[in-house]
Amino acid sequence: MSKPTIIVVGNGMVGYKFCEKLLARSTQFQIIVFGEEPRHAYDRVHLSEYFNGKTADDLSLSTLSWYSDNGIALHLDDPIQEINRTEKTIHSLKGITLKYDYLVLATGSSAFVPDIPGIEKEGVFVYRTIEDLELIKACAVNAKSGAVMGGGLLGLEAAKALIDLGISETHVIEFAPRLMPRQIDSAGSNMLQMKLSQLGLHIHLNKSTAAITGDKKIHSLKFNDDSQLAVDMLVISAGIRPRDELAKLAGLHVGTRGGIVVNEKMQTSDECIYAIGECALYEGMIYGLVAPGYEMADIVAAHLTEADKSFYGYDMSTKLKLIGVDVASFGDAFITEPDCRTILFEDTHKGIYKRINITNDGKNLLGGILIGDADAYNMLLQTVNNKIVLPPDPEDLILGSRGGEANAGAGVMSLPDDALICSCEAVTKGAICSAVNEGGVTGIDGMKKCTKAGTGCGGCVPLVKDLIAGTMKANGQYIKNVICEHFDYSRQELFDLVKINGLKNYDLVLDHYGKGDGCEVCKPVVASILSSLWNDVIVKQEAIQDSNDRFLANIQKGGTYSVVPRIPGGEITPDKLIVIGQVAKRYGLYTKITGGQRIDMFGAHLSDLPLIWEELIDAGFESGHAYGKALRTVKSCVGSTWCRFGLHDSVTFAIEVEDRYKGIRAPHKIKGGVSGCVRECAEAQSKDFGIIATEKGWNLYVCGNGGSKPQHAQLLATDIDKETVVKYLDRFLMFYIKTADQLTRTATWLNKLDGGMSYLKNVIVNDSLGLGEQLEEEMQALVNTYHCEWKEAINNPSMRKRFAHFINAPDEKDPHAQFEPMREQVRAKEW
């Protein structure tokens, strides 16, 4: 018997998911997919990321070969024109006629375009597909101002896209009296509006557009109240319309306001035809989110394979980041007294609004809204869905526990096994825990592979991580952060052992505390520990250094190196600038100003490095340690010596601090900043330590970083003098160096530190461990033994000999290191 044929109409997210779900349940079907767009299914939820550099390929849900690998025939760019229900056939635009046993309509929705005069003008777009985005992108190049019609969820996404495209003046026009009227209440909306206005978005509420004016191209919007707004482009995001035209033509039952009517098995009025996703109308409702669409896909797959599963509506709770502002709404967000009791928290200073609705007896959570800070969303949603009994002080849920020890992990573990953690992929807490217990999963990547949890919208990832950690802990499977297979110790433990036993080289450490012959993980860790303890010249043990530390420069594409001399505080004389220019010219180097106020020279051949440094050292430069896990730079603003606002001399202080800590090895790189007033031009609060001048002295901030997960530094001490700043910095840096795991920046270290900032403050400021003096002495010992590594290297013939590409032909350069011209300089050839 031949396999029954299933034809899927639509290759969007839900259509794709249906194929995946059906394949997981059975391979007894012949699947044929028709898509209207030229691309195979891609992630529409994260569409706006297309504007910050993600490519269409990055957004794809699978590779193109996935379809053929799984025996699926895929017809792209070929919309279905007609369904013949008596013959059970479909006809496509390109003229394909095929017979089906079952038909799945996953036609999705289109943007609703209101009937306004002038809507057809150039410069008016919708925001739905990658093709739409490409048109918007092309138009944005010449546009200075733009507007989005619609202040709902998608409208604000579109506004973000315009900002990302560099439109300097972006407007949002909303017909209703508030933003996101479907998801949040009016107080929340006010807070959101305030935050978005601060970010430069112009918001117009209660505005109804009467006409779009302009000759051929849009020139301005005319409103019902006779006001006008001149814009270069307009994006319409006024809602969605289910794509039900094909169903209508086939005589299927559709809703009066659109949508293909389905039952709880997702069957339409023809039992051989299903409809799923945004085109389906279930009990009068269109579900315009991806998670319910996936659920519908699974229900059809279940029904076709005779498993029992039905659709009973879907939780429309949602959390997203709009232009950097957290917005979440969950459960019954709008219920009001007397049907419930409401707890509100509002902080207009930080732009935070939180509302939770609880039952009148105070036992259960019904729903709520979070603006500005939605960290608690996952846990709150679980509390609603699983009817978890509330603590005696339910305000703790949104304010955090004040006083007493907070315990984030316990909450997650108290969830029932059937609690739905990942709603996109329908993964329960039980499934996640058993992946840890039986599947041996120990991290989020493994969990994604094993259960698919966290692969949809990604919103549940923090919760999944907590569950993995919590389950492992509960098993007594407390995973100590051991360094690698050769050392059964954490970095902190090994640090103490090396110190107590006075071990000075890697082989001794490995013989005493390790096994095997070491590797690329433990060698640099031990090298860093040895350096932080004894501060010997690192190239004396060259073979245990990471490549950058081994050659005292940063390896770049093509195998050449970049050179960064230290420029403390970013202050440099004209003579030194000239030397850098001359050196770069002589050795053919590409030069660029770095983010840390210094100059990087790229493209140096290994054998040229000692020659380059000879010249730099002669001119008074020192190594900048850009290659090491060490202090990089202390950035400064110009301060009170020139700036009319400056309170104190930030440059001098930055130079003093940079000179004090230069060369010291740490678990990861360290950056600092000093600002001469509260305007904070040195961006000190984004650094591992930041010093900001006040009327009375200096404020000291610690544990900030930029990078992929930016985090602001937190205030450690207020209005202290310079000597106290240095004292606290000595203690702070040494404490970090001694206790952090390898490759952990100060921000991550603080996040993992039990007791967090209040504990750190106690150790550093109140000296609660009585370690203060010892930490200061240890730091002073490192400061006293500072040496310029490059000076040591060029003056030692046996060290210097290592800087050659070919050891048997030291004068020859690597012919594979090749360059291409670029803007009057050179760049490395692409790999």
Among 550, 566, 635, 761, binds other proteins (CB under 8 A): 550
Return the structure tokens found at 69: 């690998």
The distance of closest approach from Cβ of residue 551 to other proteins in the complex, given in angstroms and rounded to an integer, is 7
Q: How many residues does the chain have?
A: 831
The distance of closest approach from Cβ of residue 489 to other proteins in the complex, given in angstroms and rounded to an integer, is 17
Among 79, 409, 559, 756, binds other proteins (CB under 8 A): 559
CB atoms within 10 A of CB 725: 22
The distance of closest approach from Cβ of residue 817 to other proteins in the complex, given in angstroms and rounded to an integer, is 8
Return the structure tokens found at 100: 């089906």
Stretch in the footprint of other proteins (CB under 8 A) among 50-58, 260-268, 512-520, 763-771: 512-520
Return the structure tokens found at 817: 């290191």
Return the structure tokens found at 392: 């005696």
- Does 505 bind other proteins (CB under 8 A)? Our answer is no
Among 49, 132, 164, 542, binds other proteins (CB under 8 A): 542
Stretch in the footprint of other proteins (CB under 8 A) among 114-122, 268-276, 513-521, 759-767: 513-521
C-alpha–C-alpha distance, residues 256 and 149, integer Å: 25
SS3 795: helix
Nearer to other proteins, 503 or 720 (CB): 503
- Does 811 bind other proteins (CB under 8 A)? Our answer is no
In degrees rounded to 5, what are phi and psi of residue 379? -70, -40
- Does 536 bind other proteins (CB under 8 A)? Our answer is no
- How many chain residues are in contact with other proteins, going by CB under 8 A? 34
Nearer to other proteins, 86 or 808 (CB): 808
The distance of closest approach from Cβ of residue 163 to other proteins in the complex, given in angstroms and rounded to an integer, is 34
Answer yes or no: are the C-beta atoms of 532 and 666 closer than 8 Å: yes
- Does 519 bind other proteins (CB under 8 A)? Our answer is yes
- Does 558 bind other proteins (CB under 8 A)? Our answer is yes
Find residue 82's DSSP bridge partners: 91
Nearer to other proteins, 490 or 548 (CB): 548
Binding mask 812-831 for other proteins (x = CB under 8 A): x-x-xx-------------x
SS3 498: helix
C-alpha–C-alpha distance, residues 540 and 787, integer Å: 13
Among 73, 119, 211, 555, binds other proteins (CB under 8 A): 555
C-alpha–C-alpha distance, residues 828 and 816, integer Å: 11
The angle, 0 to 180 degrees and rounded to 10, between the axes of the packed helices 491-500 and 522-534 is 50
Annotated binding-site residues read: 637, 643, 677, 681
CA angle 176, 177, 180 (to 5 degrees): 65
Stretch in the footprint of other proteins (CB under 8 A) among 202-210, 281-289, 640-648, 806-814: 806-814
Nearer to other proteins, 73 or 484 (CB): 484
Among 361, 644, 809, 811, binds other proteins (CB under 8 A): 809
Residues between 474 and 493 with contacts to other proteins, criterion CB under 8 A: 485-486
Stretch in the footprint of other proteins (CB under 8 A) among 10-18, 21-29, 355-363, 520-528: 520-528
The distance of closest approach from Cβ of residue 743 to other proteins in the complex, given in angstroms and rounded to an integer, is 12
Nearer to other proteins, 220 or 548 (CB): 548
Answer yes or no: are the C-beta atoms of 698 and 727 closer than 8 Å: no
Among 337, 517, 575, 723, binds other proteins (CB under 8 A): 517
Nearer to other proteins, 546 or 659 (CB): 546
The distance of closest approach from Cβ of residue 613 to other proteins in the complex, given in angstroms and rounded to an integer, is 18
The angle, 0 to 180 degrees and rounded to 10, between the axes of the packed helices 522-534 and 506-513 is 110
**Inter-CA distances, 142 with 123, 126, 169, 235, 819, Å:** 11, 18, 13, 15, 34
- Does 544 bind other proteins (CB under 8 A)? Our answer is yes
- Does 551 bind other proteins (CB under 8 A)? Our answer is yes
- Does 520 bind other proteins (CB under 8 A)? Our answer is yes
The distance of closest approach from Cβ of residue 627 to other proteins in the complex, given in angstroms and rounded to an integer, is 12
**Inter-CA distances, 208 with 113, 222, 648, Å:** 14, 9, 53
The secondary structure of 600-661, three-state, reads: EEEEECHHHHHHHHHHHHHCCCCECCCCCCEEEEEEECCHHHCCCCCCCCHHHHHHHHHHHH
Question: 334: which residues sit within 8 A by CB, 6+ positions away?
Answer: 185, 367
DSSP, res 254: B
Strand order in the sheet with 5-9: 73-75, 30-34, 5-9, 102-105, 273-275
- Does 518 bind other proteins (CB under 8 A)? Our answer is yes
C-alpha–C-alpha distance, residues 820 and 276, integer Å: 52
Stretch in the footprint of other proteins (CB under 8 A) among 194-202, 255-263, 782-790, 803-811: 803-811
Nearer to other proteins, 328 or 544 (CB): 544
Among 808, 811, 821, 824, binds other proteins (CB under 8 A): 808
Helix-strand-coil split of the chain, %, nearest 5: 35, 20, 45
Nearer to other proteins, 349 or 816 (CB): 816
C-alpha–C-alpha distance, residues 270 and 354, integer Å: 46
Nearer to other proteins, 659 or 741 (CB): 741
- Does 807 bind other proteins (CB under 8 A)? Our answer is yes
Nearer to other proteins, 761 or 805 (CB): 805
Beta strand 554-555 pairing with 590-593: unpaired
Nearer to other proteins, 299 or 522 (CB): 522
Nearer to other proteins, 123 or 518 (CB): 518
- Does 229 bind other proteins (CB under 8 A)? Our answer is no
- Does 138 bind other proteins (CB under 8 A)? Our answer is no
C-alpha–C-alpha distance, residues 616 and 759, integer Å: 44
- Does 546 bind other proteins (CB under 8 A)? Our answer is yes
Among 89, 455, 492, 547, binds other proteins (CB under 8 A): 547
DSSP, res 2: P
- Does 448 bind other proteins (CB under 8 A)? Our answer is no
Question: Burial of 313 by CB count in 10 Å (0-12 exposed, 13-18 middle, 19+ buried)?
Answer: exposed
Stretch in the footprint of other proteins (CB under 8 A) among 548-556, 636-644, 663-671, 763-771: 548-556
Annotated binding-site residues for [4Fe-4S] cluster read: 637, 643, 677, 681
Helix and strand numbers (H, E) in the chain are: 27, 39
- Does 665 bind other proteins (CB under 8 A)? Our answer is no
C-alpha–C-alpha distance, residues 789 and 538, integer Å: 8
The distance of closest approach from Cβ of residue 516 to other proteins in the complex, given in angstroms and rounded to an integer, is 5
Stretch in the footprint of other proteins (CB under 8 A) among 307-315, 615-623, 710-718, 799-807: 799-807
C-alpha–C-alpha distance, residues 11 and 161, integer Å: 24
Can you spell out the DSSP letters for 720-785?
E-HHHHHHHHHHHHHHHHHHSPTT--HHHHHHHSTTHHHHHHHHHTS-TTS-HHHHHHHHHHHHHT
Q: Which residue has the tokens 């825990």?
A: 433
Nearer to other proteins, 519 or 822 (CB): 519
The secondary structure of 208-230, three-state, reads: CEEEEECCCECCEEEECCCCEEE
- Does 603 bind other proteins (CB under 8 A)? Our answer is no
The distance of closest approach from Cβ of residue 669 to other proteins in the complex, given in angstroms and rounded to an integer, is 17
Stretch in the footprint of other proteins (CB under 8 A) among 148-156, 243-251, 447-455, 801-809: 801-809
Nearer to other proteins, 141 or 807 (CB): 807
Nearer to other proteins, 182 or 540 (CB): 540
For other proteins, the binding residues (CB under 8 A) are: 485-486, 507, 516-520, 522-524, 542-544, 546-548, 550-551, 555, 557-559, 802, 805-809, 812, 814, 816-817, 831
